[in-house]
Chains A and B, each alone.
Chain A
Amino acid sequence: MDDINEIKKNLGTKEVNTWCPGCPNFLILESVKTALAGLISKGVYRQEDFAMTTDIGCSSKIYDYLNISGIYGLHGRSLATGLGVTLGNPNLKVLSFMGDGGCFDEGIAHFMHAGRYNADMTLIVHDNQSFSLTTGQPTATSQEGYISKASPLGDADFPLNPIKVALAAGIGFIARCNARDFKHTAEILEKAIQHKGFSYVEIIQDCLIFNKNVNNKDDRMYKIENNSDKKKAEKIAGEYDYNNGHGKGKIALGVIYSEDKPALYEKWEQLKALKEKGVGWKG
């Protein structure tokens, strides 16, 4: 096998990076490359086996910096586009990247159904609790009282807790990471990608420009062992309510929940046949 650094280099592009200097999105990119390179070097997948779908937002700029197949889609729709890629070829390993705004505001309908379909793909949400690319308006995960140009009196609504939503939606693999802990994030991503069916990885990603009040929670974070007990997962999910100023809960990192359920390609004869042949519809 090629040297892992060589593989990682091949996973990059020559595009000029437009993230703000120091943005933790750089670390997420690094974790993704590390995870993919790990899998490629072990011979589990080829570089061509991966396909990403991205949203619109700072997070989704990752499309330009990753040298794998993919679609730079519409805001809120990365998951729907990714689902389609798995329908078109169940042998592709699909990674869908989204911001919290795209995933939990514009596109939440797709998230609510992802666990049901259980397509073999990984959703990676860069959660910075703000619409950053459009200059910091509140999203569904912003804390109550968040003051932005669009909410000068403070955001009036409580935040959604994505982990609880994911559990309620029946998603079979739920993990949370800290962008700054990129080694741990890479390990979790490797697990998520190898999970059969839909996996959701939320990455807490401080934005250096907008909603800075929620940043720097690292001292409240702790790592958990892989958990597959639903009750325990619910308890872990309840520890932190994303309402930074109000709650002071601990923030668990790691695989909060995992469960083996039939993947989309196992439920459809047509897809099962393609999976067995190792091809998409094109043949």
Chain B
Amino acid sequence: MRINILIGGKAGQGINKVSEIVSRVLTSLGYFTFNYRDYPSLIRGGHNFNVLSVSDDKIGSVESKLDIVVAMDEKTKELHKMEMKKDGVVIGFEEFKELGRNLNIAQSGALIKILGIDKQVLIDEIKSQFKESDEAVAAAEKGFESQEGKFEFKKLDRDVEIMHGSRAVAIGAVNSNLDLYIAYPMTPATGVMHELAGRMGKGHMVFQPETEIAVVNSAMGASFAGAKTMIGSSGGGYDLMTEGLSMQGMAEIPLVVYLASRPGPGTGVPTYSLQNDLDVALRGGHGEFPRVVIAPGDPIECIEKTNEALYLSEKFGCVTILLSDKHLAESEFSSDRKANKVLKVDVKREVAGEGIVKRSSYEHDKDWNTTESAEITKKFADERIKRYGRIKKECEKFQMTKLFGNPNAKNLVIGWGSTKTVILDALDAIDGSIKNGKGDYKFLQVLYMKPLSSKIKEEIEKVSNAGGKVILVEQNLTGQLGRLIREKTGLKIENRILKYDSRPFYCDELKEEILGV
């Protein structure tokens, strides 16, 4: 059973609370939920909505046809009428007028009733969220009584946890004993800053300096002095940091950059989502120097890959870019998988204070003093390439790609980052390819964008030699992973499903697109 609920209203009316209450109740009953947040760049007014998908099976996407619309204003009804299924239900706002601010709680109550869940489960959740407030409980009860049950979400025996990518990156950082997170606010990267600031009691520190340029340069100072340091930004803020990334390439000071992309160019569409910054993650900063680019595809992978990023940067004195986007950072995923064991991140190098340690943005000799010698310049350039070779080797210890479905399936879908979970859902919707492993499709998820795994070439050749279809799915205009694969392997993927309207794929939409190839 899978249903989709849209909750819409003006910014400030509390639509996120409805998603939160309902998804917490459902996950506590063992269901999987996925909550997509759609909001424009304003603080009050406008039209915001969430789509909450619920299923008794694993999901990581939403569908375009709605079972329930929770409308906090007239506009929500108007805008989303057309998306309703024939027997869809609307939970309106008129009848709860006298409740004022508690409208969202009443509507949560109404939803719980429609889903066929016990009143007591609702009351317990409201009490735990609103400090036993009688007013809140009364509002929830009023909502509950206003509806008839329609579905039957009975308790399942399963442990499911909800998480968004921002929180997961923060957890990955704390697991790695991060010391400092330095950032300047920019959507959708700010979530990690907020999450880590909220966890400061654990010992680390979050610092917000004057500009992104100050962020990257101070991070290098801190890391030089021995702090495990991470920085974060999006689009333009990342662009401002790139001179610093280039300096990192010369100075070899460990640095992890969290890059949560948003639709560009320019200020673009700041609160929506695109995977349009793989190119700049791979190449931002002048000169030729080693770097690692990792793109997790769900929150659990965010936890694991943040840890790997900090580990690799510290071990090799390289920059590692952890690539995400708004959809992964802010959508609420659910999972019953636990993250892998944490890798210990140890600062073993000698740092200032322990002895005399120098690092330079200039080409330098072995004592880190400036040189313009042709011989040494060449020697250290060769050394940078050799170091990248060692980094590549180490990366092979980690999951650089993941293959889902039957390894011998006829067709291959390739994707990365936040499209992972919708691809899995779409392939299951086609023929259960992923869940039963017997369908026509398999999915290769690329997690390490640099270095790139040799597995990609093998899989593409295996499928195309056997006459199967290879399909690239990306949320950008030019197929950036496709171009990267072509650059590294010489193989061109002809079938490309690219979506670049800044909205994520609906599961049913992607299913049709794949079937249309």
A71 touches B360 (CB 8 A): yes
With beta carbons under 8 angstroms apart, the residue of B200, B213, B227, B359 that contacts A88 is: B227
A92 touches B353 (CB 8 A): yes
Contacts A73-B220, A84-B221 given; does A280 touch B226 at CB 8 Å? yes
B220 touches A71 (CB 8 A): yes
- A77 nearest in chain B by CB position: B217
A91 contacts partner chain B, Cβ-Cβ < 8 Å: yes
Residues in B neighbouring A271, C-beta threshold 8 A: 205
- B246 nearest in chain A by CB position: A74
A85 touches B369 (CB 8 A): no
A110 touches B352 (CB 8 A): no
Contacts A63-B360, A63-B370, A110-B210 given; does A87 touch B355 at CB 8 Å? no
Residues in B neighbouring A112, C-beta threshold 8 A: 210
A70 touches B358 (CB 8 A): yes
Contacts A112-B210, A280-B225 given; does A92 touch B247 at CB 8 Å? no
- B221 nearest in chain A by CB position: A84
A55 to chain B, nearest CB (A): 10
B213 touches A87 (CB 8 A): no
Cα–Cα distance between A87 and B352 once the two chains are bound (Å): 13
B52 to chain A, nearest CB (A): 38
B220 touches A91 (CB 8 A): no
Cα–Cα distance between A281 and B178 once the two chains are bound (Å): 10
Query: Which B residues between 365 and 387 are near A, CB-CB below 8 angstroms?
Result: 368-370
Cα–Cα distance between A91 and B58 once the two chains are bound (Å): 51
A222 contacts partner chain B, Cβ-Cβ < 8 Å: no
With beta carbons under 8 angstroms apart, the residue of A72, A85, A91, A279 that contacts B370 is: A72
B210 touches A282 (CB 8 A): no
Query: Which B residues between 83 and 142 are near A, CB-CB below 8 angstroms?
Result: none
- B358 nearest in chain A by CB position: A70
A280 touches B351 (CB 8 A): yes
Residues in A neighbouring B334, C-beta threshold 8 A: none
Residues in B neighbouring A87, C-beta threshold 8 A: 180, 182, 205, 207, 218, 221-222, 225, 227
Contacts A84-B221, A109-B210 given; does A73 touch B227 at CB 8 Å? no
Query: Which B residues between 243 and 296 are near A, CB-CB below 8 angstroms?
Result: 243-244, 247, 251, 253
Listed residue (B213, B221, B347, B359) with the most chain A CB atoms within 10 angstroms of its CB: B221
A60 to chain B, nearest CB (A): 10
B226 touches A89 (CB 8 A): yes
B219 touches A84 (CB 8 A): yes
- B247 nearest in chain A by CB position: A74
- Which of A43-51, A151-159, A236-244 lies at the binding interface? A43-51
Interface size on A, residues (CB 8 A): 44
Residues in A neighbouring B213, C-beta threshold 8 A: 77, 80, 109
With beta carbons under 8 angstroms apart, the residue of B217, B219, B225, B368 that contacts A51 is: B225
Cα–Cα distance between A282 and B205 once the two chains are bound (Å): 14
- How many A-B contacts if CB must be within 8 Å? 160
A81 touches B352 (CB 8 A): no
Cα–Cα distance between A3 and B495 once the two chains are bound (Å): 76
Residues in A neighbouring B362, C-beta threshold 8 A: 72
With beta carbons under 8 angstroms apart, the residue of B204, B211, B219 that contacts A270 is: B204
Contacts A110-B214, A270-B205 given; does A91 touch B359 at CB 8 Å? no
Cα–Cα distance between A110 and B214 once the two chains are bound (Å): 7
Residues in B neighbouring A80, C-beta threshold 8 A: 209, 213-214, 217-218, 221
Residues in A neighbouring B354, C-beta threshold 8 A: 48
A89 touches B217 (CB 8 A): no
A67 contacts partner chain B, Cβ-Cβ < 8 Å: yes
Contacts A64-B370, A80-B213, A270-B204 given; does A74 touch B243 at CB 8 Å? yes
Listed residue (B224, B229, B352) with the most chain A CB atoms within 10 angstroms of its CB: B352
With beta carbons under 8 angstroms apart, the residue of B347, B353, B355 that contacts A91 is: B353
Interface size on B, residues (CB 8 A): 48
B359 touches A71 (CB 8 A): yes
B356 touches A281 (CB 8 A): no
B421 contacts partner chain A, Cβ-Cβ < 8 Å: no
B340 contacts partner chain A, Cβ-Cβ < 8 Å: no
B226 touches A282 (CB 8 A): yes
Contacts A77-B213, A83-B214 given; does A89 touch B225 at CB 8 Å? yes
Contacts A48-B352, A72-B359, A74-B243 given; does A88 touch B214 at CB 8 Å? no
B228 touches A48 (CB 8 A): no
A71 touches B221 (CB 8 A): yes
Residues in B neighbouring A71, C-beta threshold 8 A: 220-221, 224, 251, 253, 358-361
- A84 nearest in chain B by CB position: B221
B209 touches A113 (CB 8 A): yes
Residues in A neighbouring B161, C-beta threshold 8 A: none
B176 to chain A, nearest CB (A): 13
Cα–Cα distance between A61 and B360 once the two chains are bound (Å): 11
Residues in A neighbouring B347, C-beta threshold 8 A: 281-282
Query: Which A residues between 239 and 283 are near B, CB-CB below 8 angstroms?
Result: 268, 270-271, 279-282
B198 to chain A, nearest CB (A): 15
Query: Which A residues between 72 and 126 are near B, CB-CB below 8 angstroms?
Result: 72-74, 77, 80-89, 91-92, 109-110, 112-113, 117
Cα–Cα distance between A66 and B361 once the two chains are bound (Å): 16
B252 to chain A, nearest CB (A): 11
Cα–Cα distance between A51 and B352 once the two chains are bound (Å): 7
Cα–Cα distance between A281 and B218 once the two chains are bound (Å): 15
Contacts A69-B356, A80-B213 given; does A53 touch B228 at CB 8 Å? no
B360 touches A74 (CB 8 A): no
B217 touches A84 (CB 8 A): yes
Residues in B neighbouring A64, C-beta threshold 8 A: 369-370
Residues in B neighbouring A117, C-beta threshold 8 A: 209
Cα–Cα distance between A152 and B44 once the two chains are bound (Å): 53
B397 to chain A, nearest CB (A): 25
Query: Which A residues between 208 and 255 are near B, CB-CB below 8 angstroms?
Result: none
B179 contacts partner chain A, Cβ-Cβ < 8 Å: yes
Residues in B neighbouring A51, C-beta threshold 8 A: 225, 352-353
Contacts A69-B358, A281-B226 given; does A113 touch B351 at CB 8 Å? no
Extra contacts, 16 of them, besides A51-B353, A280-B226 (Cβ < 8 A), are A48-B354, A61-B370, A63-B358, A71-B360, A72-B360, A74-B361, A77-B213, A82-B221, A83-B218, A84-B221, A85-B221, A87-B180, A88-B221, A88-B229, A280-B227, A281-B226
Q: Which residues of B contact A (CB under 8 A)?
A: 179-180, 182, 200, 203-205, 207, 209-211, 213-214, 217-229, 243-244, 247, 251, 253, 347, 351-362, 364, 368-370
Name 11 interchain pairs, CB-CB below 8 A, sorted by A: A56-B361, A63-B358, A63-B360, A70-B352, A72-B368, A74-B244, A84-B182, A84-B222, A87-B207, A87-B225, A281-B225
10 tightest A-B contacts by CB?
A84-B221, A88-B225, A84-B218, A282-B226, A88-B222, A69-B352, A80-B217, A72-B360, A281-B227, A281-B179
